[in-house]
Amino acid sequence: MALSWSRLGRKVNLGVLLNVSAAFLSVFVVQLALYAVHELSEANVLPRARAIHDATEILGPDGLIGHLMTYALAVVPTVWLFAAWWKERKRFAAVTTP
């Protein structure tokens, strides 16, 4: 693994890697915040916990938005990476064509 990293590590575009990581972490933080509100209301920590829990049921792990956020953890960074690859490909094609 170390040998592969030492040979191929120079080819990694750190800007793209950090942007993809930031996209993933942004979605993760939003999911974590939504899930925290749902769980805190379920534990009766928040005022009017029952009303908040009923309103945020869709945000939980079994709710629709909870499922969509889980899929977004994979889709958003993948699309970001594909867009960066496409942009680099277009730039390379513009440089090489006369």
Taking only the tens place, the pLDDT of each residue in 3-49 is: 988 888 888 888 998 999 999 999 999 999 988 888 898 898 888 88
Q: Total structural domains in the chain?
A: 1
Q: What is the pLDDT of residue 98?
A: 64
Residue 1 domain-assigned? no
Residue 2 domain-assigned? no
Residue 25 domain-assigned? yes
Q: Rounded to the nearest 5°, which phi and psi values hold at 83? A: -65, -40
**CA-wise closest residue to 28 among 62, 64, 72, 78:** 72
Q: What is the pLDDT of residue 63?
A: 86
Number of alpha carbons in the 13 Å side-chain half-sphere of residue 97? 6
Predicted confidence band at 92 (pLDDT cuts at 50, 70, 90)? confident
Q: What is the pTM of this model?
A: 0.77
Q: What is the pLDDT of residue 22?
A: 94
**Which three-class secondary structure state does DSSP give residue 61?**
coil
Domain with 51 in it: 13-96
Computed on alpha carbons and rounded to an integer, the radius of gyration of the chain in Å comes to 20
Residue 20 domain-assigned? yes
